[in-house]
Structure 1
């Protein structure tokens, strides 16, 4: 067994045996530096596999969509993989040729847009000839996406058809009305529609890409069998095509406004076999200092599967649903805290009242010491599973990078979680969760 492999195995095994504040863990070896172009690079070297995973992220998620062009970030991400224009003396590649080029390399490339981020990922073997060609092809895609009008017209028609099909589903209506009520005009709650997709054209995508794909704003995470010197070269090559994009400051995005009063939305949906129920309110941002106490509290309340209070009280004791869960969506802004379930239409009112009463009781009384101990054990014992592959390590380190968290965030996670006491947990929960100010959406329940 190599020294590096032993280090990783010992580190992962150590996560399973954290029981108290004195537990020590081997550090996850994250190297971090800033490139001359301003890009922030995070490297985790792992020589156990001849593979490299790369993620590049910039502030180009849907929160940056102009209101009249909702869906622009997602469209831009989609079209990044639909062809490359001529660049650096090399000819254009249409979408089919691009797919074949990646298949010939045995490599993977993808781009997605979430609420906050435009993300580009690359996975390739580190055999020198394959790595060189994969980085070169990825750099071409980043530098000269085609944004072909005919391809976009086809993809837009597919998006619109899928949107119209989704309108026949009660959960689609429930999610839309819930987002509108929780976010109240904030970009997190804006939905793309056929009208906004129809207003998007290749010129809008090029402008969006040029404005948001900037090296100065980029976080690059690399996990695999390379060292720092090689990582610096790869990062420079990948972002070389963005040099012409400049670095004009982006306008601030407002925070999600506090919920001043409850809102109860009941919508019929003839023919729906189940009532779709969403209950919640604005929650927290990822950098909130109470993020970890709230993660622990939510595991007890509704995020811990069959061990959670909601599951016991609504499924096991009363049989109203197959599953019920709660979660915090924590981004750069306060994403929603949400309780979600489905039940028979004539049981919707009872289920809603049970959710509200469970929130009231948990907020007043808090969890028991036994619940806290069990939740800590579950989360700590499961933490190593978040880091048992290159791609999972990439996800975790990229999250650290995006939220500007300390480099030891993952190393200290289990010890910090173990140290949370009941008072800290309950204070954090009461600060964020007000059971008297909730958004409730029921679609498909009886009037």
Structure 2
């Protein structure tokens, strides 16, 4: 008879509820480097008997070979689906792994973004649960199954989803926008059926072996753990990883700036036209990151109070919503303005977006707009850190981008100190309204 599932699962659910409001940027961040080169960041929080761990390595999609676009994401997907047999235990297929994590009441996952491959573990710190969760996570990190039938199934699922996505105008708009903004840069690569077909489990195994290296890893821990215990957890988690000499990975080129404007217009039978306007933006380590952030809140990132929302929605009723954003990474991610509107109103919406961008770059915000944006950002900052998971995300980003350990503590003061002139200088340096990419899908050319 199968034993009853671990009673600690109920406690974990309670912990997830209690976690809101438990984390604070005032908590000190301890940082050290392990003998194997792994850089560890620990926020000790004893208020809850739980631990969140994130491991980041330089294995994002910017490392995908062009003919195998989607390799990093596929590696992350298969990493969680089965474990090979080892002295630590018998082989576990994907279903057995799911059952094992469910029995522990813990969570294990992996994902790949543009820059990094991320692995996350969440568990209670009750000694027997923590020990079992770390042991299972260590096995998955050391010897994923890379099962051929599982990858064949997932590849078919990804292909079906891709084909369905081609029936939507937003897919076409996003693809053409990425092509125009990034051109040959890896940030603009698209995973497609033919690139997935070029990936086999040997390619997954090789990609993982080359990029899952302790010397490149940033490990962030948030929870009820002291430094000595955190060190033991990290050592166990990475025990199966080898540095393979830890030679430097090939350099990735920077995103080249645009030299001229480009407009792409595609007819599409849809009730709403999809509009994207933008260009390459900034990398996360740009010294004007916060000035760009505050300015974007005013222009189109601040919801109903933003300039673009006032001009396109409130004054003219062209859309339900219009938003601007920067997507900074280790390289210059795109700046974009996105809106949906009636096809016969698309040209008017595009003209207004261009006009507001030119005006903002030339003149910057008013003093009132700046004061209101700073107040909104500063007052909302606590919501970015009001759970262990959010705190983990922020500290992991801090670690990945090499920001100062007191960055979160100084964030509100730095935002409050930004003046109009700094925003104007930053936006004039970064944004060039005479070189914008404009993509319209769904309106008649």
Instruction: Give distance in 2, aligned partners of 1:401 and 1:328.
Output: 20
Could you tell me which runs of 5 or more consecutive residues in structure 1 were left unpaired when the two chains were aligned.
1-7, 13-25
State whether structure 2 residue 190 is matched by structure 1 residue 191: yes
State whether structure 2 residue 384 is matched by structure 1 residue 389: no
State whether structure 2 residue 356 is matched by structure 1 residue 369: no
Q: Give a deviation string over 1:172-212, Cα, whole Å, max 9, x none.
A: 00000000000011000000000000010000000000000
Alpha carbons 1:105, 1:130 under 8 Å: kept: yes
- Count matched residues: 426
Alpha carbons 1:28, 1:410 under 8 Å: kept: no
Q: Give a deviation string over 1:353-396, Cα, whole Å, max 9, x none.
A: 00000001111121100000000000000000000110010000
The structural deviation recorded for 1:248 is: 2.5
Equivalent positions of 1:20-99 (< 5 A) are 27-99=26-98
Q: Given the alignment, which residue of 304, 323, 337 partners 1:339?
A: 337
Instruction: Give distance in 2, aligned partners of 1:380 and 1:373.
Output: 11
Match of 1:136 in 2: 135
Q: Given the alignment, which residue of 305, 321, 324 partners 2:322?
A: 324
Q: Given the alignment, which residue of 429, 432, 435 partners 2:433?
A: 435
Match of 1:407 in 2: 405
Instruction: Give distance in 1, aligned partners of 2:91 and 2:63.
Output: 29
Alpha carbons 1:39, 1:215 under 8 Å: kept: yes
Alpha carbons 1:300, 1:309 under 8 Å: kept: yes
The structural deviation recorded for 1:10 is: 11
The structural deviation recorded for 1:87 is: 1.9
Alpha carbons 2:22, 2:47 under 8 Å: kept: no
> Secondary structure at 1:237's aligned position in 2?
helix
Alpha carbons 2:23, 2:386 under 8 Å: kept: no
Match of 1:214 in 2: 213
Alpha carbons 1:213, 1:245 under 8 Å: kept: no
> Secondary structure at 2:250's aligned position in 1?
coil
> Secondary structure at 1:240's aligned position in 2?
coil
> Secondary structure at 2:119's aligned position in 1?
strand
- After superposition, the CA RMSD in angstroms is 1.3
Instruction: Give distance in 1, aligned partners of 2:213 and 2:243.
Output: 9
Q: Give a deviation string over 1:33-80, Cα, whole Å, max 9, x none.
A: 000000000000000000000000000000000010000000000000
Alpha carbons 1:279, 1:439 under 8 Å: kept: yes
Q: Given the alignment, which residue of 260, 272, 275 partners 1:274?
A: 272
When residues 10 and 414 of structure 1 are mapped into structure 2, their CA distance, relative to the original with a 3 A threshold, is farther
Instruction: Give distance in 2, aligned partners of 1:159 and 1:243.
Output: 31
User: TM-score when scaled to structure 2?
Assistant: 0.94
The structural deviation recorded for 1:243 is: 2.1
Alpha carbons 2:52, 2:121 under 8 Å: kept: yes
Match of 1:17 in 2: none
Equivalent positions of 1:138-177 (< 5 A) are 138-177=137-176
Q: Given the alignment, which residue of 298, 301, 317 partners 1:300?
A: 298
Instruction: Give distance in 2, aligned partners of 1:243 and 1:324.
Output: 47
Match of 1:118 in 2: 117
Instruction: Give distance in 1, aligned partners of 2:260 and 2:357.
Output: 16
Instruction: Give distance in 1, aligned partners of 2:22 and 2:219.
Output: 27
Instruction: Give distance in 2, aligned partners of 1:97 and 1:440.
Output: 49
The structural deviation recorded for 1:247 is: 1.4
Instruction: Give distance in 2, aligned partners of 1:220 and 1:423.
Output: 38
Instruction: Give distance in 1, aligned partners of 2:421 and 2:307.
Output: 19
Instruction: Give distance in 2, aligned partners of 1:89 and 1:369.
Output: 63
Instruction: Give distance in 1, aligned partners of 2:32 and 2:237.
Output: 16
Alpha carbons 1:63, 1:187 under 8 Å: kept: yes
Could you tell me which runs of 5 or more consecutive residues in structure 2 were left unpaired when the two chains were aligned.
1-19
Q: Give a deviation string over 1:313-344, Cα, whole Å, max 9, x none.
A: 00000000000000000100000000000000
Alpha carbons 1:214, 1:246 under 8 Å: kept: no
Instruction: Give distance in 2, aligned partners of 1:446 and 1:84.
Output: 53
Match of 1:286 in 2: 284
Instruction: Give distance in 2, aligned partners of 1:328 and 1:407.
Output: 24
Match of 2:422 in 1: 424
